[in-house]
Amino acid sequence: MAPASEAHRTHPLSALLQGLIWGAGVAVALAWQLLDFDDLQWWALASIPAGFLGGLAAGYVSWLFTRYVIDDAEIRVERGILFKSSRRIPFERLQSVDINEPLIARLVGLSELTIEMAGGSDSRTRLRFLTLVEARRLRRLLLTRAHGGSPRDETGELPPEEQRVVLHVVPPDQIIYGTLLSLDFVGTVLATLGSVVAAFLLEDIGWALLPLILPASWAVVQMIMTRIVAQWNFTLSRGERGLRIERGLLSRSSQTIPYDRVQGVGVVEPIVWRRYRWARLDVDVAGYGNPGESDGGVSTTTLLPIAHHDLAMRIVEELVPDPERGTTEPVRPTHRSRLFAPIGWRYRSLAATAHTVTTATGWITRHRSIVPHHKVQSVEFSQGPLERRRGVASVEVHTPDGPVSAQIKHLDAAVARTVTFEEVERARLARRTQPPLAASSADASIAPTISRESSQPSGSTTFRGEP
């Protein structure tokens, strides 16, 4: 094995792959801009293959000048010819390491390594492309280092790939049903069908609706692609250091969420799904940020796209110790808050357990946010002018940016104040009992893992949810 600080290149085929991607992009853009079939110009025709070749060349050059170096404290990625960029990623700042196999790369057995750090939109580093074996080896090395472990023992070997226990494989039919039964999908399909029908009824001017039909159909196709194809074979497995998510039919992606980097878990139950007791799980990890609108419901923050509620809760227990134990009497808004949410106020509540604080909200789609006390960033108590007139106030428990947001609006003002300082107190206690997780000695944070392991004696069972 090479010495630790030697510079590595990505796989030579990445030059070709990246070149193809860029070349195709340039060629399509040029074709779109320049081609005029009524009046074909030779230079317009020639520019398309030229653009394609240019893209290929750029791919080669970018490969030639991309290097990564791993030493004792960090991984460094260097890029660029004219504008050199060098990014250093100290191991202890690492939040998660993912492996993606976009379809085109997967065809030739290559994959992309994504390294996530906390902070900012630019905190993601991609290494494309590596062989799958190399990507896995790197991930193992990075994750071991991130947890303060030594990269290799005396014999100079990497620790072997850890044993993983498959927790759940989401059956494809459940993903399909779940998508078909989700409100936004049904809404989009109805809108599309509606406009098609309208187009047929308005025979003469029906074609004018085409600009409406095309994007709507495209949205339907995209939803099917992102939700069903991207979440095909969604596999959740448990290892020593974290949960792993593997998913995708065409493009595969493999994601590791270290236990101690989980900032909060969200349980989402849309109205139709509740009939079947289905739920979706979201997870807050510093650095993942908010799922973009364009993701259409699939993103790195999805922990489990669809599963039976009981199964989902068992998965939550994997991440959050004892979410149910020692549950306090839930705090609910007063009837004075009816003004703000005529129906919704009955569905809002906040409860705390020994380890977590849980808020619930929503009556069409029910959201439950579970935040461990020792991950609470800050607690806010606020009151607007209308709230003051009704004698109510709101409490928000801040977590790093992501899909999970633990807040309860319009509690009785005095109760809200009590809740705020109770949560501050619980968070303080949790931080004390939890050995402080100094960034460099993340091992200390395995503590909750131990209690969890002992509560799962039959560690090798695979449980599946019944739809």
Partner 1 sequence: MREDLFTSPAGVWTPISPRLATARGLVGSACGLFLVLVSLVLWLQLADLVDGWAWLLWLPGALGLALTAWVWWWAPRNRRSWGYAEDEDDFVVRGGIMFRRLVVVPYGRMQFVDVQSGPLARALGFGTVTLHTASTATAAAIPGVPLDEATRLRDRLTDLGEGHGAGV
Fill in the amino acid letter for 194: G
Asked whether position 414 contacts partner 1 by CB under 8 A, the answer is yes
What is d(CA 464, CA 443) in angstroms, rounded to the nearest whole number? 31
What is d(CA 299, CA 359) in angstroms, rounded to the nearest whole number? 23
Asked whether position 263 contacts partner 1 by CB under 8 A, the answer is yes
Residues 282-321 touching partner 1, rule: CB under 8 A, are 286
The token pair at 405 is 């947001």
Asked whether position 381 contacts partner 1 by CB under 8 A, the answer is yes
What is d(CA 153, CA 149) in angstroms, rounded to the nearest whole number? 10
Angle at 363 between CA 399 and CA 257, to 5 degrees: 35
Q: Cβ(125)–Cβ(77) under 8 Å?
A: yes
Q: Cβ(16)–Cβ(59) under 8 Å?
A: yes
Asked whether position 350 contacts partner 1 by CB under 8 A, the answer is no
What is d(CA 16, CA 30) in angstroms, rounded to the nearest whole number? 20
Q: Report, in Å, the least distance between residue 353 CB and partner 1.
A: 20
What is d(CA 324, CA 353) in angstroms, rounded to the nearest whole number? 6
Question: Of the ranges 22-30, 140-148, 235-243, 427-435, which one interacts with partner 1 (CB under 8 A)?
Answer: 427-435
- DSSP E strands in 23-143: the ranges are 67-70, 74-79, 85-90, 94-101, 110-117, 124-131
1 to 7, 65, 73, 128: CA distances (angstroms): 13, 23, 18, 21
**What DSSP designation does 331 have?**
B
Question: Of the ranges 69-77, 316-324, 336-344, 428-436, which one interacts with partner 1 (CB under 8 A)?
Answer: 428-436
Considering beta carbons, is residue 3 or 120 the nearer one to partner 1?
120
Considering beta carbons, is residue 235 or 418 the nearer one to partner 1?
418
Question: Of the ranges 67-75, 307-315, 318-326, 381-389, which one interacts with partner 1 (CB under 8 A)?
Answer: 381-389
Asked whether position 449 contacts partner 1 by CB under 8 A, the answer is no
Q: Report, in Å, the least distance between residue 121 CB and partner 1.
A: 12
Considering beta carbons, is residue 149 or 171 the nearer one to partner 1?
149
Asked whether position 433 contacts partner 1 by CB under 8 A, the answer is no
Considering beta carbons, is residue 115 or 393 the nearer one to partner 1?
393
Name which position in 103, 108, 208, 438 contacts partner 1 (CB under 8 A): 438
What is d(CA 90, CA 178) in angstroms, rounded to the nearest whole number? 40
Asked whether position 446 contacts partner 1 by CB under 8 A, the answer is no
What is d(CA 433, CA 450) in angstroms, rounded to the nearest whole number? 14
Q: Report, in Å, the least distance between residue 380 CB and partner 1.
A: 5
Our CA dihedral for 222, 228, 233, 238, rounded to 10 degrees, sits at 80
Considering beta carbons, is residue 302 or 405 the nearer one to partner 1?
405
Considering beta carbons, is residue 377 or 461 the nearer one to partner 1?
377
Asked whether position 411 contacts partner 1 by CB under 8 A, the answer is no
Binding site for partner 1 (CB under 8 A): 95, 118-119, 261, 263, 286, 374, 376-385, 388, 393, 396, 398-401, 405, 413-414, 417, 420-421, 424, 427-428, 431, 434, 436-439, 442, 445
